């Protein structure tokens, strides 16, 4: 064989090996539980044909993960040139992201050694708190400490009443005729409307009035709030006048509202 033929054969072989390697890396791998990190951790992995790998149900001895004090899921998005999927993480619910290459043979079936990935870390359960807010509790409630600083969606639903059922409130609006009509604050026809102002009955977040948005026939509302590191989230029904709560007014309040707190992102 002449030298040029040998080069062609060698080049063909190299191209064939490269194509085989690319195809092997691109193949889908079904879900299975893998023990890794020297036996310290187990998790479920699945690899799509595009090369994206998802890790769920991580269980480790000691600290579950080094990023946040909560269970997480990971998504590995390949960074190799020519990879099909977008390497960028979905920002919704993102805890952190970093570039990583696998060195653990236990994970090689899903994450080929030496291949670079953009790793997207998400909370396994983005809803970090839920419960009931008693309209008769003048102190409101303090939500359990959130797992990390960032933006959270607070949703409140339901109705409550006072003045022996004359007024029915949700998080933002009030009705005196079983929601045939409603207003933001007591209707102008009520002699107490001017004294009590437009925020009577509103649900406050961290002691502040917020815009819960347009009227919802389902009496379900959401808002977002930024929570700093170490800051606690509080919720409470406002019953008072001129922006000042009057504790003794809460005695005739009847009913509770449901709430959820969901992590949105950094």
- Cα separations (Å) of 89 from 75, 81, 137, 150? 8, 17, 42, 17
Q: Is 99 helix (H, G, I), strand (E, B) or coil?
A: strand
R_g (Cα) of the chain, nearest Å: 28
Which pLDDT band, with edges at 50, 70 and 90, does 26 fall under? low
Q: Is 151 helix (H, G, I), strand (E, B) or coil?
A: strand
Q: What's the pLDDT at 109?
A: 96
The domain ranges of the chain are: 3-119, 127-265
Which pLDDT band, with edges at 50, 70 and 90, does 15 fall under? very low
Which pLDDT band, with edges at 50, 70 and 90, does 264 fall under? very high
Tell me the sheet residues that pair with 151: 226, 265
Average pLDDT taken over every residue of the chain: 90
Average pLDDT over residues 225-243: 94
Does residue 213 carry a pLDDT above 90?
yes
Contact of 249 with 179, CB cutoff 8 Å: no
Does residue 182 carry a pLDDT above 80?
yes
Does residue 2 carry a pLDDT above 80?
no
Does residue 12 carry a pLDDT above 80?
no
Give the Cα separation of 140 and 135 in Å (integer): 8
Q: What's the pLDDT at 67?
A: 95
Q: What's the pLDDT at 25?
A: 53
Residues 6+ apart with CB under 8 A from 123: 68, 70, 71, 72, 73, 93, 95, 147, 263
> Based on the number of CB atoms within 10 Å of its own CB, is 64 exposed (0-12), middle (13-18) or buried (19 or more)?
middle
Average pLDDT over residues 218-235: 95
CATH number for region 127-265 = 2.60.120.430
Closest CA to 96 of 127, 64, 77, 118: 118
- Cα angle at 9 between 6 and 11, to 5 degrees? 105
Does residue 228 carry a pLDDT above 70?
yes
């Amino acid at each position: 064989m002449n030298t040029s033929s040998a080069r062609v054969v060698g080049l063909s072989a190299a191209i064939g090996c490269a194509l085989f390697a690319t195809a092997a890396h691109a193949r889908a791998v079904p879900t299975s539980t893998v023990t890794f990190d020297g036996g310290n951790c187990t998790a479920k992995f699945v690899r799509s044909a595009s090369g994206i790998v998802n890790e769920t149900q991580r269980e480790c001895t000691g600290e579950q993960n080094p990023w946040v004090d909560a269970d997480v899921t990971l998504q590995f998005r390949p960074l190799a040139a020519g990879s099909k999927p977008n390497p960028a993480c979905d920002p919704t619910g993102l805890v952190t992201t970093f570039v990583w290459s696998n060195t653990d043979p236990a994970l090689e079936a899903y994450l080929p050694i030496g291949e670079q990935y953009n790793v997207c870390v998400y909370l396994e359960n983005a809803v970090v708190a839920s419960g009931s807010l008693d309209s008769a509790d003048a102190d409101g409630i303090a939500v359990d400490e959130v797992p990390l600083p960032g933006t959270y969606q607070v949703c409140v639903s339901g109705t409550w009443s006072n003045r022996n059922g004359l007024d029915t409130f949700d998080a933002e609006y009030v009705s005196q005729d079983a929601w045939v009509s409603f207003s933001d604050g007591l209707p102008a026809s009520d002699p107490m409307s001017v004294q009590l102002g437009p925020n009577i009955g509103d649900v406050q977040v961290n002691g502040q009035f917020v815009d819960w948005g347009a009227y919802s026939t389902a009496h379900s509302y959401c808002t977002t709030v930024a929570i700093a590191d170490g800051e606690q989230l509080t919720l409470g029904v406002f019953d008072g006048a001129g922006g000042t709560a009057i504790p003794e007014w809460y005695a005739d309040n009847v009913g509770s509202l449901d709430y959820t707190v969901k992590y949105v992102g950094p």
